[in-house]
Amino acid sequence: MALVRGCNFPDDLYYNVDDNVWARRESDGTVIVGMTTYGCVLSGEIVAWTAKKAGRSVDQNKSTGTVESGKWVGPVKAPVSGEIIAVNEVAVAVPSTINADPYGAGWLVRMKPCDWAGESGTLLNGQAAAEAFEAKMQTEGFPGCA
């Protein structure tokens, strides 16, 4: 696991660094999507997760739903194109779960990707992701995850 300014970035995930989202490919070919610890710290305590309904198709970098905190409202962008096949109802019911466990119980949607092989190449993982997050934090003046 990479640790960048106190924020952890698990090695087995693929990241859209600009939008602070991660994707994890499951053994059945589906993809779990969530927010990074960095995104959660920037947002502050999340008070609502309003996802698009299961069955909706979403293009890469388009919204899978809206996250809202006291100081931020914005979309969670799909790391790859695909159909939303499940929404994490725990995160809907208790949005602070997203802050508490962004890579586990705080996942957001499960997708059936259209073209994982083609589109996942735009995502970063491992050391490349860590370096890109460090550069992003530097640009944004981010002090670090507490």
> 137 with 69: CB under 8 angstroms?
no
Angstrom distance (rounded) from CA 53 to CA 40: 23
Least gap, CB of 127 to another protein (angstroms): 30
Q: Is 50 in the site for another protein (CB under 8 A)?
A: yes
User: Token pair for residue 21?
Assistant: 């989202």
**Residue from 8, 19, 24, 74 in contact with another protein (CB under 8 A):** 74
**Residue from 5, 8, 25, 75 in contact with another protein (CB under 8 A):** 75
> 111 with 78: CB under 8 angstroms?
yes
Residue 75 vs 126, nearer CB to another protein? 75
The gap between the terminal CA atoms of the chain, to the nearest Å, is 17
Report the residue count for the chain: 146
Residue 70 vs 121, nearer CB to another protein? 70
Candidates 71-79, 83-91, 103-111, 131-139: pick the segment binding another protein (CB under 8 A). 71-79
Angstrom distance (rounded) from CA 77 to CA 75: 6
Least gap, CB of 87 to another protein (angstroms): 12
Other beta carbons within 10 angstroms of residue 97's beta carbon come to 19
**Residue from 26, 55, 71, 139 in contact with another protein (CB under 8 A):** 71
- Residues lying near another protein in the complex (CB under 8 A): 44, 47-50, 53, 62-63, 66, 68, 70-75, 95
